[in-house]
Amino acid sequence: MSIKPAKTRRRQLNPDEQIEAAIKRGLTENSSSIDCSCIRSKLAPKSELKYDKEYEMWEAYERRFPGADPRTMQCMKHFAELVGRSTVGRLDEEGRPTVKTVQNKVRIFMSQWERKTHLSIPPDVHDSMALYIEDFLRHEIPLSIEEKAPTFLTIQNYLEMEELLWQRDYHDYIHEGSCVDSSTLLKMHCYTSARLQEICQAKYKDLVCMVAWKDGEPEIKIGFKREKCKNMAKTPRKPKHPIYERLHPAPPLFANPVLFLLSVFISTSAFKNYKTVEDVLSARAPKGKYRILEWAHNVLDIPVFPEMSKNGPTDKAKNEVEMSIDGPKEKAKNEALWGKQCSDWAKRADFPNGMGLHAACCKALIQVDDGGYSLGQVMKFAGHRNPKTLVGHYLSDENKVDSAAAFLKLDAWGDLTEDFRSESMGKTSDIQHSLAANILHDLKQRQDYMDLSEQLQNLVGKEFRTQRRYLYNQRQKLVNKELENQCNNPHRVHNTGSNRDQKGEWQRSYFDCVVCHMVPERDRLANTLPLAVSLRSPEGISALRDLVALLLLPRTGGSMCTSAISYTIRIILALVNSASSAASG
């Protein structure tokens, strides 16, 4: 017999009574005062910039052609042709935009015009533009039909980048902790498939760190919630990714995500009760249970991956940079972006085209898709709402079917396409990243180069950004052409009687004689991180201490300064050691 009190049913109001009740609660009786414009979804901040840019083009078009109305077919066709002829493409050698680029720009404009004016473009006009661009303007202007081939950060390519970073990287980082930061970020992309902003904007309150048990041994686990997940702002059910300490079999330490994340946590004193490496590794949970390693209250709302300065981490989230296209400011600001830094890292690892972070996400999703997980689990891991996104933009076009083995009824080759995916990033062992000083000097004295530079100096302001971008592309083509000639004719670089420069030897010499000499932690990490051991091994603990030390260098002294004087000293040391090596040889 139930002891719960019987529920009393409230009398339901009839429709007339409901209307009266709504009026008493504030419902206006005059509907004419309500805004009659259509309601459209809110744009993300970065999307607003893109939409406003296309609308600015329309405003300029209206000034040039008064009375223009995009609701008419003739006007929209004319405007679409304007977009096609004024846009500078990146993929085509002649600078022609692609069909998809023009279609996207016109689509964005029509959407923004409807948002601004609260009017609607007729469906027959709206729907005709994509076909008009593809079937008519493509041949009339003409437009390019090229598409950028997808790239994939395979295990082989990933190892190439990590080995360069920790064993021969000659890059002059703004702060020694930047290399720790870069390696940690790349692992987060590879192991979670998260997009750039989803990782860069993560805060400590989005992470959970705990210690539990695995096979009788303590195990540190980290849960990462993609709070800034694309297209999921309105749902609390964001993708969550577990990251754990003990991988089996153990990979090289530079591939262990918990090792690098712990170094970030410890260096920022993120834990409430655990301040040192020893404190964290000695944390234990009750047998058969887990224990949360609580965050300090003051770190909950700060970014896990802050922007780096010469004095160390700042309070600003990485990639929180306002984009500018006003001349010289553009390059300075873009240098601070994580995507640009990662691409430059790939170029130093002999991938001449760099690497977009999409390559890491693609490979992660391919591996998960090949792992036998259900489509629902794969989409949840990816943070996708539409299965077409996964198939159309992330999975490889490579056919995984081993047709020969299938026909002959033999054992199938499981990783048949892996090498082809690795090749997508275009590894080149003898790449030269820049022109020799004498060739660059001669190029800058050429009339065609000087003409382009003079035109760029005269084009200042947002209204000239299209022309400026075109001129930058033309000038870069001159540099690329000379670089190609330099690679094909290496004797041009050494015609002054200097010793032949071997890129690999120079990198190794600079890293060994300068970087490792000035930063002993980098010297030790070059030996410990390639080892396939566990985090709690002596080598793993040593690596963790050194990673923390790199992040703390400015505060403890002994950092690799980036001032002009220190930079000159490092170059002199490198030249002296290189000369000594050449003499002994």
Q: pLDDT of 423-458, one tens digit each?
A: 767 666 655 556 666 777 788 888 888 888 888 888
Q: pLDDT of 207-259, one tens digit each?
A: 999 999 998 999 999 999 888 777 777 777 888 889 999 988 999 999 999 99
Residue 582 lies in a domain: no
Q: What are phi and psi of 98, to 5 degrees?
A: -85, 160
Domain interval for residue 86? 45-140
CA distance linking residue 251 with residue 247, whole number of Å:
7
Q: Are residues 199 and 302 in the same domain?
A: yes
CA distance linking residue 36 with residue 492, whole number of Å:
71
CA distance linking residue 18 with residue 454, whole number of Å:
73
Locate 485 and state its tokens.
């000639």
Which position has the token pair 């041949």? Answer: 139
Locate 169 and state its tokens.
């990287």
* Average confidence (pLDDT) over 387-398: 71
Residue 111 lies in a domain: yes
Q: pLDDT of 459-489, one tens digit each?
A: 877 667 777 777 887 887 888 788 777 766 6
Tell how strand 207-214 and strand 306-309 pair up.
unpaired
Q: Are residues 174 and 95 in the same domain?
A: no
Q: Are residues 235 and 305 in the same domain?
A: yes
* % pLDDT > 90, the chain: 35
Domain boundary among 116, 140, 164: 140
CA distance linking residue 123 with residue 571, whole number of Å:
64
* Average confidence (pLDDT) over 193-205: 88
**Burial class (CB within 10 angstroms; exposed 0-12, middle 13-18, buried 19+) of 68:** middle
pLDDT of 580 > 70? The answer is no
Residue 322 lies in a domain: yes
Half-sphere exposure (Cβ direction) of 133: Cα atoms closer than 13 Å: 27
Mean pLDDT of the chain: 80
* Average confidence (pLDDT) over 396-404: 70
CA distance linking residue 245 with residue 256, whole number of Å:
7
Q: What pLDDT, on the 0 to 100 scale, is given for residue 66? A: 93
CA distance linking residue 163 with residue 525, whole number of Å:
11
Residue 12 is inside which H or E element, if any? none
pLDDT of 332 > 90? The answer is no
**DSSP structural state of residue 298:** G
Q: Around Cβ 98, how many Cβ atoms within 10 Å? A: 20
Q: What pLDDT, on the 0 to 100 scale, is given for residue 266? A: 95
* Average confidence (pLDDT) over 322-339: 52
Q: What is the DSSP string of 453-473?
A: HHHHHH--SGGGHHHHHHHHH
Q: pLDDT of 258-315, one tens digit each?
A: 999 999 999 999 999 999 999 999 999 999 899 999 999 999 999 999 998 888 888 8
Residue 36 lies in a domain: no
Locate 524 and state its tokens.
């030790």
Q: What pLDDT, on the 0 to 100 scale, is given for residue 82? A: 94
Q: What pLDDT, on the 0 to 100 scale, is given for residue 352? A: 81
Between the CA of residue 432 and those of 223, 473, 485, 501, what are the distances in Å?
41, 20, 11, 11
Q: What are phi and psi of 207, to 5 degrees?
A: -115, 150
Q: Are residues 402 and 449 in the same domain?
A: no
Q: pLDDT of 106-161, one tens digit each?
A: 999 999 999 999 999 999 999 999 999 999 999 999 998 888 778 888 888 899 99
Q: What pLDDT, on the 0 to 100 scale, is given for residue 325? A: 41
Q: Are residues 484 and 549 in the same domain?
A: no
CA distance linking residue 113 with residue 54, whole number of Å:
9
Q: Are residues 296 and 161 in the same domain?
A: yes
pLDDT of 351 > 90? The answer is no
Q: Are residues 336 and 388 in the same domain?
A: yes
Of 175-189, 375-389, 500-514, the poorest mean pLDDT is in 500-514
Query: Which residues touch 171 (CB under 8 Å, ≥6 apart)?
Result: 344, 345, 348
Residue 40's SS3 state is: coil
* Average confidence (pLDDT) over 17-24: 88
Task: Give per-residue burial for 330-347: e unless 16+ CB within 10 Å, then b.
Answer: beeeeebbbbbbbbbbbe
Q: Are residues 267 and 233 in the same domain?
A: yes
Q: Are residues 154 and 272 in the same domain?
A: yes
Q: What pLDDT, on the 0 to 100 scale, is given for residue 375? A: 77
Q: What pLDDT, on the 0 to 100 scale, is given for residue 329? A: 43
Domains of the chain: total: 3
Q: pLDDT of 448-457, one tens digit each?
A: 888 888 888 8
Q: Are residues 402 and 529 in the same domain?
A: yes
Q: What is the DSSP string of 484-542?
A: HHHHH-GGGTTTTSPPPP-HHHHHHHHIIIIIHHH-HHHHHHHHHTTS---TTSHHHHH
Q: Around Cβ 540, how many Cβ atoms within 10 Å? A: 21
* % pLDDT > 70, the chain: 79
Domain boundary among 121, 140, 159: 140
pTM of the model: 0.74
Q: What pLDDT, on the 0 to 100 scale, is given for residue 437? A: 66
Beta partners for residue 244, in sequence order: 221
Domain boundary among 140, 174, 196: 140
Residue 203 lies in a domain: yes
Q: Are residues 398 and 256 in the same domain?
A: yes
Q: Are residues 131 and 239 in the same domain?
A: no
Residue 26 lies in a domain: no
Locate 581 and state its tokens.
């090596």
Residue 579 lies in a domain: no
Residue count (the chain): 585
Q: What is the DSSP string of 435-455?
A: --HHHHHHHHTSHHHHHHHHH
